[in-house]
Amino acid sequence: MMLMVVLSTLLMIIIVHTIIMKTFDGKVGNRTVIITVTVIVMSYALPLVFFPVPLAQDTITLEGMILSLVLPLFVFRGINKGNSIYITILIIGMILVVSTSIGWVLTLVLKTNIIPQAVDLFTNLVLLIICIITTKTGALSRFINSIMEIPRGLKILLASTIWISAVLTGLSSMIFQAYPDLPALTLSGVLTAALIILVGTMCPLLIMNYLSSTHYKNQSNLMNKQVQTQLEHYETMSRMNEDIRKFQHDYKNLRICLISYLNQNDIPGALDFLNMEYSLMKVSSHTFETGSVILDALLNEKQMSAASVNITIVFEGTIPENLLDPADICVIFGNAIDNAIEACARLPKEEKKVIGIQSSFKKDFLFIIIENPTAEPVQIINNTIATTKENKRSHGIGLRSIRMSAEKYAGVIKLASVDNTFSVAIDLDFHH
């Protein structure tokens, strides 16, 4: 019995420390580990020496909870102590709920008293295995970090619900074990168990639903702000491009100035004028003419950043002016080109890369194809890129944004990867 209690509380301490370390990226030194092990051994040894067995068991169980709560504050450096205490309280409550629930269910099924220490040991061992698996996949850290994002009131509600469930489950289990032959008590116990499970399940689910909706709402608001900022930037650039086109239109008249310089034998003035002409031609050589001033500005901006890694953007076709909302132009083309540039950047820098964009408008349908070379074939599952990035939650937001903009025009998106060339085909319907 005593060995089970010791092992069970040790497993609880290990679970708490693992979660705190992985979630908050806690740092720990070798000296701290030695001191921690010494403290745990001494805390367990003293009750075994000076207390009778029943009291020693209860003392060690209580010490395990206290050590789980206090030790992370001294073991790990660079963690938020308040968050550490809250998560520890939450974890211990969850362990108690699971352990007492399993013990109660086994008692109801087997119609006999069971050894609670054995149930605690088995439960903590299973939870530790689950903890290790979810830690390696990153699911546990994402879950804990999501909990830390909820408002303070909901945090208190979640912790209170878990601990109330643990207390009610423990008391009901003790009463049932004391009076196992009373049918009314058995029925009330089953109903209480169902209520506890319902409340204990629904409350976390409601909170997680709140987290999910809040997360995507914040992401949407952030993306809208980014799109608006981009739109203002591209509108400014479009005005600059319009000034350049106006200058080109008036260039014939400006040639008169050059002839005037030459007639007056003002060679320095003529050279300065020619240098200005060369600069203008150099700028205009990177100017796109797509039919949409916003898209022109966007492509010019992307080309300037892509040129640093030897990437060229080529546009063929046209986008009728005012056909697409300017914000949707930024979302669709901006995200697709950013993804293409990111893929091309993985290729050797000296290798010339081309991002091809084709657009055609036929019978109230706009067909867009954006393709780029890739270092390796892209795995596509259910018309979605199978990502290998660690932060899978945030990856793919750009593609989701493109889909959301395309849906405004009853659009269809098709992803393809053939011979190390990835393409996004977007068909938009303007028939309605």
Query: Would you state the pLDDT for residue 214?
Result: 60
At 83-113, the pLDDT tens digits run 888 888 888 888 887 777 777 677 666 666 6
Q: What is the pTM of this model?
A: 0.47
At 203-243, the pLDDT tens digits run 556 666 665 566 556 666 666 666 666 666 666 666 566 65
Is the pLDDT at 288 greater than 50? The verdict is yes
Note whether residue 254 is domain-resident: no
Counting every residue written for the chain, the total comes to: 432
Residue 153: pLDDT band with limits 50, 70, 90: confident
Provide the token pair at 67. Answer: 């050590």
Residue 285: pLDDT band with limits 50, 70, 90: very low
Query: Would you state the pLDDT for residue 219?
Result: 62
**Domain ranges, residue 192:** 2-221
Note whether residue 138 is domain-resident: yes
Please indicate, yes or no, whether residues 187 and 307 belong to a single structural domain of this protein.
no
Q: Which residue has the higher pLDDT, 378 or 148?
A: 378
Note whether residue 235 is domain-resident: no
What does the H/E/C string look like for 7-24? HHHHHHHHHHHHHHHHHH
Is the Cα dihedral 276, 282, 283, 287 positive or negative?
A: positive
Domain count along the chain: 2
Residue at which a domain ends, from 221, 250, 268: 221
Please indicate, yes or no, whether residues 304 and 213 belong to a single structural domain of this protein.
no
237's CB contacts (< 8 A; 6+ apart) are 297, 300, 301
Which region among 4-18, 24-38, 156-170, 342-356 has the lowest average model confidence (pLDDT)?
Answer: 24-38
Secondary structure letter of residue 307 according to DSSP: G
In whole angstroms, what is the distance from residue 226 CA to residue 151 CA?
Answer: 26
Please indicate, yes or no, whether residues 301 and 195 belong to a single structural domain of this protein.
no
The percent of the chain in helix, strand and coil, each rounded to the nearest 5, is 70, 10, 20
Please indicate, yes or no, whether residues 67 and 168 belong to a single structural domain of this protein.
yes
Note whether residue 178 is domain-resident: yes
- Burial, 95: exposed, middle or buried (Cβ in 10 Å; 0-12, 13-18, 19+)? buried
- Residue that has been written with the tokens 């005593």 in this structure: 2
CA atoms within 13 A on the CB side of 197: 12
Query: Would you state the pLDDT for residue 391?
Result: 38
Return the percentage of the chain with pLDDT > 70, whole number. Answer: 69
Please indicate, yes or no, whether residues 146 and 39 belong to a single structural domain of this protein.
yes
Query: Would you state the pLDDT for residue 103?
Result: 74
Query: Would you state the pLDDT for residue 390?
Result: 42
| Average pLDDT score over the chain | 76
Angle between helices 139-148 and 183-249 (to 10 degrees): 90
Note whether residue 266 is domain-resident: no
Please indicate, yes or no, whether residues 318 and 182 belong to a single structural domain of this protein.
no
Instruction: Check if the beta carbon of residue 158 is closer than 8 Å to that of residue 131.
Output: no
Which region among 169-183, 260-274, 347-361 has the lowest average model confidence (pLDDT)?
Answer: 169-183
In whole angstroms, what is the distance from residue 96 CA to residue 120 CA?
Answer: 8
Query: Would you state the pLDDT for residue 322?
Result: 82
Residue 293: pLDDT band with limits 50, 70, 90: confident
